[in-house]
Structure 1
Amino acid sequence: MEARTVPARPIPALPKAHLHLHFTGSMRHSTLVELAAEHEVHLPDALVEDWPPHLRATDERGWFRFQRLYDIARSVLRTEDDLRRLLRETAEDEASEGSGWLEIQVDPSGYAARFGGLTPTVELVLDAARQAEEAAGIGIGVVIAANRTKHPLDAKALARLAVRYAGRGVVGFGLSNDERRGRAYDFEGAFRIARNGGLLSDPHGGELLGPASVRECLDTLSADRIGHGVRAVEDPRLLDRIVERGVTLEVCPASNVGLGVAATAAEVPVRRLYEAGASIALGADDPLLFGSRLARQYELVRAEHGFSDAELAALARQSINASAAPEVTRKQLLAGVETWLATPPVPHPLA
């Protein structure tokens, strides 16, 4: 049967900001395989022949498997050149998909032992980001993320470190890993330090746990953005508060399916969130483990949720406006969105 086509504009040509991308998870699969061979790191079948891996993290065993694969992938980053290569290639991939601004999230404690400590690791990442943005022609900000499975005092140390580099490449402070193993409430002190230092508050919440997880991010951590946040649809009053406060939800459709948060991309509540008035920034989360990058997320909401080009442009605007990009960059990207909309659509195959 011949594939159906509809008039539509090409998504890679739509200027956008990518606000939910993890450092190791942004690596190209081919680079993972090459670096593993170079450094003699054994990769399990799930990261080679069976890639992308079949994941489901709705129980503790599933999350452990996901985290184990992530840790194995991180272990191939052995040298400064490896880190620089990762960021350079990530920036190239983002540019090819229409990202004019990228905010990449990194927990430096995962690399500190290899690169001389927390401060040298942050400085290496920031220097690599500057090189990558110059080479690819996009802007890059760094979100320093604490690990919610570690002690809150570790998070405070990271927050103080992040504030030292505010205005020098670090734009936000995050909180990642399994929501079920560390309440947002426990990290209020770290986020207070980050906010007082001028950084965006960008914790994960409302992915593996329900509305209570989102509420803690909103009320206790004063979130400007929330990583995922899709479970907020289960509490209409909470969703109304998110809309009223202008908090942006970083929704990652492929990731939600990959981890079992939703059975299919059609069940990720993008349309419900959008029609409720929520600001949404689509994200790819960890392309290395979920097998798709940013443009694919826009394709999914076009195909599975019936988003028109005008609605896709609205999502792109929301991502840009929610970013920490300099004002001149925002204006350029927003103008590019209008140019994209003014361009006549072409036949596009339905995903």
Structure 2
Amino acid sequence: MPGPFHRHRPLDRLPKAHLHLHFTGSMRHTTLIELAREHSLHLPDALREDWPPKLHATDERGWFRFQRLYDIARSVLRRPEDVYRLLREAAEDEAAEGSGWLEIQVDPSGYAQRFGGLTATLDLVLDAADQAARAQGIGIAVIVAANRTRHPLDAKTLARLAAQYAGRGVVGFGLSNDERRGRAREFDGAFRIAKRAGLLSVPHGGELSGPVSVAECVDDLGADRVGHGVRAAESRRLMERLADRQITCEVCPASNVGLGVAERPEEVPVRALFDAGVPIALGADDPLLFGSRLLRQYELAREVYGFDDAELAELARQSIRSSAAPESVKKDLLKGVDDWLTAPAEPAE
């Protein structure tokens, strides 16, 4: 435990990039409550008084409950102004925590019926992201994500949509949901479409399934980053491959504990991956369901995984380098990291 003279640099002033944040999951809990009230929607206790919900998704029943709560939360987004509010508040939260670049992940098919189709939904999200980014002075880009529990042809449809918006706010193509119900290799056609358009390949893997899931993301989908990827730590050879190819793992410690991937924060292998040379971008995943945002992940790195300020600065650099931010933005953020590290440390409260 730090002594009375312990000093450190404030983590909310450390410039960083946030690369693993889901659209609905970025919503503030207070906003969920208010929108449910406005739309006369009933929320279960797990999303009201018992929030954040107690989750354990390593079995099928647990994942179903997690997905059900996520779908209920999604249902409060009924009007375009709700989408603008969500992204405005997400940008405010990112800016407050030192995040200068956000890549937010959305599956437009989850909202298409409500907002006039896939294209209209993506247009709405992109416009809301642009307005929020300009208001807060940060960068926001969108990752279009397919659902691996649906047919690969649906993923191809989304990949073509994402490709049409490459260079116009969409920077990557992802694959989310329960990896035990859809192997990465089944979606290789969709990812080829996205890669040809110049989009980053950012599938989820190595969360609920083991190292083989990560390897498939790399070998079959040409992953530039892997969402989560923590199970790669179970294979030294795989970690060496990720390190050699500088493939980033978007590690979300609070989410891993919340879903039962690890029983305690101490069991999430952040230190093992970092020491093996695997680039890491810390992420909050779904703050609405796990109860903590990006800053808390950096606090865990300091308090639980023993990262000193120089290592925390390197974590921030890795997140920035792994992002799709323009080079000018990366340069400014990286300079901010250097400035943070050379500034005097402050007494801990």
TM normalised by structure 1 equals 0.98
**Letter paired with 2:177:** N
Q: Deviations 1:41-68 (Å, cap 9, x if unpaired)?
A: 1000000000000011000000000000
After TM superposition, the structure 1 = structure 2 runs for residues 324-335 of structure 1, keeping only pairs within 5 Å, are 324-335=324-335
Q: Deviations 1:195-251 (Å, cap 9, x if unpaired)?
A: 000000000000000001001001000100000000001111111111111100000
After TM superposition, the structure 1 = structure 2 runs for residues 192-203 of structure 1, keeping only pairs within 5 Å, are 192-203=192-203
1:17 is paired with a residue whose SS is: strand
Change (3 A) 1:2 1:173: closer
Aligned twin of 1:266:
266
The alignment status of 1:240 with 2:240, answered yes or no, reads yes
Distance in 1 (alpha carbons) for counterparts of 2:228 and 2:8: 27
1:281 is paired with a residue whose SS is: coil
Aligned twin of 1:220:
220
Distance in 2 (alpha carbons) for counterparts of 1:203 and 1:280: 15
Aligned twin of 1:58:
58
Q: Deviations 1:6-44 (Å, cap 9, x if unpaired)?
A: 311000000000000000000000000000000011000
CA RMSD of aligned residues (A): 1.2
Aligned twin of 1:137:
137
Distance in 1 (alpha carbons) for counterparts of 2:2 and 2:104: 39
Aligned twin of 1:310:
310
The count of residues paired between Structure 1 and Structure 2 equals 349
Aligned twin of 1:34:
34
Aligned twin of 1:153:
153
Distance in 1 (alpha carbons) for counterparts of 2:2 and 2:259: 32
1:20 is paired with a residue whose SS is: strand
Q: Deviations 1:241-278 (Å, cap 9, x if unpaired)?
A: 11111100000000000000011111100000000001
Question: How far off its partner does 1:3 sit?
Answer: 8.3
Distance in 2 (alpha carbons) for counterparts of 1:348 and 1:106: 38
Change (3 A) 1:5 1:57: farther
Change (3 A) 1:170 1:2: closer
Aligned twin of 1:73:
73
After TM superposition, the structure 1 = structure 2 runs for residues 288-303 of structure 1, keeping only pairs within 5 Å, are 288-303=288-303
Question: How far off its partner does 1:303 sit?
Answer: 0.4
Question: How far off its partner does 1:348 sit?
Answer: 2.1
Q: Deviations 1:84-106 (Å, cap 9, x if unpaired)?
A: 00000000000000000000000
Question: How far off its partner does 1:289 sit?
Answer: 0.3
After TM superposition, the structure 1 = structure 2 runs for residues 158-197 of structure 1, keeping only pairs within 5 Å, are 158-197=158-197
**Structure 1 stretches (4+) deviating beyond 4 angstroms?**
1-5
Aligned twin of 1:284:
284
**Letter paired with 1:187:** F
Question: How far off its partner does 1:347 sit?
Answer: 1.9
Distance in 2 (alpha carbons) for counterparts of 1:189 and 1:245: 22
Question: How far off its partner does 1:4 sit?
Answer: 6.0
Distance in 2 (alpha carbons) for counterparts of 1:241 and 1:271: 17
**Letter paired with 1:309:** D
Change (3 A) 1:5 1:92: farther
Aligned twin of 1:93:
93
Distance in 2 (alpha carbons) for counterparts of 1:41 and 1:348: 43
1:256 is paired with a residue whose SS is: helix
Distance in 2 (alpha carbons) for counterparts of 1:290 and 1:133: 24
Distance in 2 (alpha carbons) for counterparts of 1:21 and 1:348: 29
Aligned twin of 2:43:
43
Distance in 2 (alpha carbons) for counterparts of 1:259 and 1:215: 22
Question: How far off its partner does 1:136 sit?
Answer: 1.1
Distance in 1 (alpha carbons) for counterparts of 2:279 and 2:11: 19
Distance in 2 (alpha carbons) for counterparts of 1:62 and 1:5: 44
Aligned twin of 1:347:
347
**Letter paired with 1:260:** G
2:223 is paired with a residue whose SS is: coil
**Letter paired with 1:109:** S
Question: How far off its partner does 1:5 sit?
Answer: 6.6
Distance in 2 (alpha carbons) for counterparts of 1:38 and 1:94: 26
Question: How far off its partner does 1:192 sit?
Answer: 0.4
Distance in 1 (alpha carbons) for counterparts of 2:27 and 2:168: 24
2:61 is paired with a residue whose SS is: helix
Aligned residues with identical type, % of pairs: 72
**Letter paired with 1:318:** Q
Where structure 2 has 5 or more consecutive residues not aligned to the other structure, the ranges are none
Aligned twin of 2:22:
22
Distance in 1 (alpha carbons) for counterparts of 2:271 and 2:347: 24
Distance in 2 (alpha carbons) for counterparts of 1:223 and 1:294: 23
Aligned twin of 2:111:
111
1:70 is paired with a residue whose SS is: helix
